[in-house]
Amino acid sequence: MASSSTSSLKQIPVSKVLPGMYLVRIVDSWWKSPFFLHRRILQSSEEVQLLIQSGIQMVEIDVGRGRDVQGEEATTASLIPEPATYGEAVEIPVDEEAGRTGAPLAHEPLPLTDSEIRKRAGQLRMDMRQSLDDMFQGLKTGNALPMAAVHQVAERLIREVSDHPIILTEVMLLEHLEVYDKTLHAHVLDVAILSLLVGMHLDLPGTLLHELAVAGLLHDVGFLRLPANVVMNPVGDRTVSLPPVLRQHVNVGVALIRQHAKGSSLVHRLVGEHHECVDGSGFPRQLVADSISEGGQLLGLVDYFDELVSAWGSPNRMPPALALRRIFQEVRDGRFPSRMGEALVRTLGVFPVGTVVKLSSGDIAVVASHQPQAGAKPVVLVVQGADGQPLAQMQEWDLGADGELGSTVTIQHILKPGDVAVDWQTIYSEHRAHS
């Protein structure tokens, strides 16, 4: 979408805002905003009222893409919102009459290709991470928790995960190849996404999925009220144990949510349970078995997986496949419920996307795509030949396509990304550009 001319941007007091205006940004602090994502058509008087009630004084609108101030000439685009793009919370109105007759809508977008979906999913993740970072910075300085905005992004995530579960999984896990210092806001976003992916695999009800997404986004919010030097430099490995001061993040987070949340108390419970284990070895209350809610069990398992595979929380991150093996062993030992562990493996695959492997042919590859029916034979990107030399151009091999490679090629060993002299950042970028 082309960027707007600066001549069409206008700053106005919130008292002059009307439905149909295109909101670009809040001139006041972002923290006051009732919306998680800006750059949107204001669809109703209720949305305008939310702006007024928030205490915001000034906003910036784009009169080239929406309605102008009352009494001034409106543009032809005043009440015709453009198709939604990532970073814009726009609902396209439906022409009910056209829908009944089957006539095509003039503004109906063409179906997106997988490549376009991947690019837009990547943009969505960047937009949401930035917004979460802004939100967390506000919490550090004592601002309130914007629960309405968190619920909005939870609904957005549910729609995206429901529409494109496989692609969203691939985008999330492949990014681990290039992100070596994961931030808190990136961690909570991935936990929310993966909780939804596994929750949908388990056919959890929609109300629980929404609460699970909200809890995923907020499960570590308590860290923001703990000493920063301790949070960023923990003693030991978070995946094994946490110092007593850091264990307080659970209760601190629950207190923050109780202070600002309205409605369901399930989010409080899920956040309070995300470090509990069914064998009683967790914290802060050493709950066991069925005393931990279904959502709490799932959130805790997914949080643990993301800590294992990312730099957030662990100085020695694991390849995704080895992380799943560790979890499977801990399921057998009784730490996590078998139903949740099996659902996680089925969702991600035996060799999840982003796993670096050595093939039986001697070549080095990274798992690029997972289909549930593929089992231990995913699609891989071969980046280094059997002679140890990087390939001038990576090759895509489908290990499940019998005979396509001339002989049966299997995964022989799982490697760490750092064990291979390959620029994974470039490989990842090229794959996204051409897939």
Under 8 Å between Cβ of 390 and 405:
no
The residue whose two tokens read 């730490």 is 335
Q: How far apart are alpha carbons 76 and 20 in whole angstroms? A: 12
Contact by Cβ (8 Å): 412, 381: no
Give the tens place of pLDDT for each residue, 202-228: 999 988 999 999 999 999 999 988 887
Q: Where are the beta strands (DSSP E) in 107-252?
A: none
Angle, to 10 degrees, between the axis of helix 294-309 and the axis of helix 184-201? 130
Give the total residue count for the chain.
435
Please report, for the chain, the start and end positions of each structural domain, with discontinuous segments joined by +. Answer: 6-92, 114-348, 356-434
| 114-348: CATH number | 1.10.3210.10
Amino acid code (one letter) for 58? M
Write the pLDDT tens digit of every residue in 350-409. 899 888 999 999 999 988 887 666 677 888 999 999 998 888 888 989 888 755 665 688
pLDDT at 271: 96
Distance CA 259, CA 210 (A): 20
pTM score: 0.73
Mean pLDDT, rounded, for 64-71: 82
Does 105 score more than 50 pLDDT?
A: no
Helix pair angle (165-174, 338-348), 10° resolution: 90
Angle at 211 between CA 206 and CA 214, to 5 degrees: 125
When mean pLDDT is compared across 19-33, 55-69, 250-264, the lowest value belongs to 19-33
Beta bridge pairs of residue 366: 356, 381
Neighbours of 139 (CB within 10 A): 19
Predicted confidence at residue 2, as pLDDT, reads 41
Q: Is 96 helix (H, G, I), strand (E, B) or coil?
A: helix
How many helices (H) and strands (E) the chain has is answered by: 14, 9
Residue 25 pLDDT greater than 60, yes or no: yes
**Which stretches of 297-374 are assigned E, i.e. beta strand?**
356-359, 364-369
User: Token digits for 277?
Assistant: 């284990």
**Average pLDDT of the residues of the chain:** 79
CA 334 to chain centroid, in Å, comes to: 29
Pair of tokens at residue 100: 């009944």
pLDDT in tens, 311-337: 665 556 788 899 999 999 999 999 999
Alpha carbons within 13 angstroms on the beta-carbon side of residue 191 total 34
Confidence at residue 403, expressed as pLDDT on a 0 to 100 scale: 58
267, pLDDT greater than 60: yes
**44, two tokens:** 């109703």
